[in-house]
Amino acid sequence: MKQSAVQQSNRRAYPRSSAGDGGGVAAPADGSVFKSPGVIFWPAFHVLCCLVSAAAGFRFSRLLFLLLFSPLAPSSSSSSFPRQHLRLPLVRQQPATALPSLLPPPAVLPPPPPPNSKSLASSRVVVGRHGIRVRPWPHPDPAEVARAHEILARVQQEQRLQYGVKDPRPILVVTPTYARTFQALHLTGLLHSLMLVPHPLTWLVVEAGGLSNETSAILSSSLVPVLQLPFREQMPVVWSDRHRLEARMRLYALRVIRERRLDGIVLFADDSNVHTMELFDEIQKVEWMGAVSVGILAHSAAPETPSRKQQREGDKENSHLPIQGPACNSSGHLIGWHTFNSLPYAKKAAIFVGEGVIVLPSKLEWSGFVINSRLLWKEAEGKPNWVRDLDDVGINGEEIESPLDLLKDATLVEPLGNCGKKVMLWWLRAEARYDSKFPTRWVIDPRLEIIVPAKRTPWPEAPPDLMFQQMADDEEHTREHVSKKSKSSRSKNSYRKKKKREANVNTQVSDLSIADVK
């Protein structure tokens, strides 16, 4: 009975399979084997604990290594890693000098200079429409500095192509000149500067004394359109008269622009001035008349040293900054003009051309102004009424000192170049001295004389005798002559002494013979 009961219980727990299963144990009805959740949880928890312990151990070992072997001062290490968060009762930090440092010493870099307001203000490079701040201290690697400037130049070029002047107006450059020694030097430099301008340009060259072969030969190599205008008056030798004549020559060029209705922006470029390429982009912003700052390079001689009181008063009244340009207020509006202070150089300034002293500019140089050519036309669309008629300017002996004399209201001039803060051209007057010996038209004829002979001459003829060789030959000749004279004088003296000796010997012999006879 007991055995049958056990068999029945086993049959209830393990029902027989169907005949197709071969009489094996029957599977659960849902077809899945039941597993406990602890079988999956504990291995996952173990893996998680291993990862946490590994990360915590690495972090702990790193902090311990830095605390023990860091070359930094204890203050810096304590500030970087607060000790109240690191409870290490069994680890005692040793001084930095007790244990050798296992880390390489940090690179010692030169400390940056103290911040200066002027240096920070001037350390911004404008790249297109954006500004890049450049640190005031130099980079230790000059190759990296050159590479950085190349990158900035490329960025500026791309920004200029994308955001620059899309439809630039033509530029009309007016230059007064005359044939002189340094004309080739000045006109060649200005010519190459104008050929680099990417905008359409016409060069109006007004020559005093009529057209000359020298000026025509220089302008013939120009790749820009040139309009050469003759001016009948001769250029005077006094600087004050020359400034007045140059003003009349510029006024004559403006009348030619009005008669021919040349459209564009008029730029007054003297042949001896130096211009930047940024200037030709900046003048595209002008509407009618604009002004830019000009650097005056006139410090070729030392000014007089006045007393301290006069110097202080002069510093309060006039700034000694050699700049001519517009002065603006905080809102960017024109309120006046900054001119060159010529009082310290008044007694040492040049009076006539070719004098080897400082040359002073006029009160306001024409090169610091640009004009819309339509302002000169008799009839132009939108022409303002604060402009004088060009026919009424410069008549009845009126002297024109600057383009401001063309306006009825000079306060309407537009300041350019960040309101005159940026200098984009420089005024310079360098002329040959009156006693200079430069070759005529810079053509050397006859050929040059030999000052220093070559060690091996490529030509068969022997070089002519030089001055120092002639002097050496003369010295040798005089030495030989002196030696001959000394030799002849010595021979004569020896001959006389010999004669005297022979005479003395003869007298002695005669005396002896007389004594023997007695």
295 forms beta bridges with: 323, 426
Specify the pLDDT at position 64: 64
Q: Residue for token digits 């620059």?
A: 164
Specify the pLDDT at position 58: 64
pLDDT for residue 17 is more than 60: no
Do 235 and 215 meet the contact criterion of CB atoms below 8 Å apart?
Answer: no
Do 416 and 292 meet the contact criterion of CB atoms below 8 Å apart?
Answer: yes
pLDDT for residue 320 is more than 60: yes
User: By C-alpha distance, which of 444, 361, 441 is closest to 182?
Assistant: 441
134-145 tens-digit pLDDT? 666 677 788 888
Specify the pLDDT at position 401: 87
Q: What is the DSSP string of 322-342?
A: -EEEEEE-TTS-EEEEE----
Do 211 and 228 meet the contact criterion of CB atoms below 8 Å apart?
Answer: yes
pLDDT over 90, % of the chain: 27
478-500 core/surface letters (b: 16 or more CB in 10 A; e: else): eeeeeeeeeeeeeeeeeeeeeee
Specify the pLDDT at position 233: 92
Do 456 and 329 meet the contact criterion of CB atoms below 8 Å apart?
Answer: no
Task: Select, from the ranges 68-72, 160-164, 196-200, 394-398, the one with the highest average predicted confidence (pLDDT).
Answer: 196-200
Q: How many Cβ atoms are within 10 Å of 105's Cβ, its own excluded?
A: 7
Query: Longest C-alpha distance within the chain, in Å?
Result: 211
Q: Residue for token digits 């390079």?
A: 297
Give the residue with greater pLDDT, 127 vs 78.
Answer: 127
Strands laid side by side in the 334-338 sheet: 274-275, 423-428, 293-297, 323-328, 334-338
pLDDT for residue 164 is more than 90: no
57-71 tens-digit pLDDT? 666 666 666 666 655
Specify the pLDDT at position 480: 62
pTM, two decimals, is 0.60
Average pLDDT, the chain: 74
147-158 tens-digit pLDDT? 888 998 888 888
Range of lowest pLDDT (49-58, 127-136, 344-353): 127-136
Specify the pLDDT at position 79: 40
270-287 tens-digit pLDDT? 999 999 999 999 999 999
Q: How many Cβ atoms are within 10 Å of 78's Cβ, its own excluded?
A: 13
Range of lowest pLDDT (29-38, 299-308, 360-369, 420-429): 299-308
Class of residue 236 by CB neighbours under 10 A (exposed 0-12, middle 13-18, buried 19+): middle
Quote the tokens at residue 448: 């040059």
Q: Estimate the share of the chain in helix, then strand, then coil, as percent rounded to the nearest 5.
A: 45, 15, 40
Find the radius of gyration of the CA atoms of the chain: 49
Q: Which residues contact 427 (CB under 8 A, 6 or more apart)?
A: 270, 273, 294, 295, 296, 297, 298, 324, 361, 365, 367
Give the residue with greater pLDDT, 272 vs 102.
Answer: 272
pLDDT for residue 22 is more than 70: no
Task: Select, from the ranges 3-12, 207-216, 394-403, 438-447, the one with the highest average predicted confidence (pLDDT).
Answer: 207-216
Quote the tokens at residue 358: 């400082």
Give, for 13, the enclosing helix (H) or strand (E).
Answer: helix 2-13
Q: Average the pLDDT over 32-47 and give the result.
A: 71
Quote the tokens at residue 80: 């970087």
Specify the pLDDT at position 72: 45
Specify the pLDDT at position 371: 95
CA distance 54 to 59: 9
Q: Average the pLDDT over 465-481 and give the result.
A: 59
Does residue 125 sit in helix, strand or coil? strand
Give the residue with greater pLDDT, 434 vs 475.
Answer: 434
